[in-house]
Amino acid sequence: MDSLSETISLRLPRETIVKLDELAHKEGKDRSALIREILEFGVKEKKIEHAVELYRRGQITGWKAAQLADVSLWNFYKILAEKGVLIQYSELDLEEDLKA
């Protein structure tokens, strides 16, 4: 654990703990390592989900959404396609992207 980490505690249903233990055993990891991995994955997915929603509403450009999601613009457009979100790109978007 690095010096920038912090210990937290949380309550989980017994059923979830059993599933975590089973998965950790299958993957050859300890439960804490698996939970960290799942949380990091979840945070990344949540950032993407948030960026997609803002983009879908027209509140931010594709470029800004990609930055918010911490992915490349190309990958963000791929994510939009996978989620069935239409790509909206206007002259204003182009101007903003060229400024960035």
**Residue 19 structural domain:** 14-99
Query: Is the Cβ–Cβ distance between 85 and 60 less than 8 Å?
Result: no
Q: Is residue 2 in some structural domain?
A: no
Q: What is the pLDDT of residue 3?
A: 66
Q: What is the pLDDT of residue 45?
A: 97
Q: What is the pLDDT of residue 32?
A: 92
The pTM (predicted TM-score) of the whole model is 0.76
Q: Is residue 5 in some structural domain?
A: no
Q: Is residue 33 in some structural domain?
A: yes
Q: Is residue 90 in some structural domain?
A: yes
State pLDDT tens for residues 32-89: 999 999 999 999 999 999 999 999 999 998 889 999 999 999 999 999 999 999 888 7
Helix (H, G, I), strand (E, B) or coil at 60: coil
Higher pLDDT, 3 or 81: 81
Q: Check whether 1 has a pLDDT greater than 60.
A: no
pLDDT average, residue stretch 90-95? 72
Q: Is residue 6 in some structural domain?
A: no
User: For the chain, what is the domain count?
Assistant: 1
Q: Helices (DSSP H) in the chain: which residue ranges?
A: 14-27, 31-56, 62-69, 73-82, 91-99
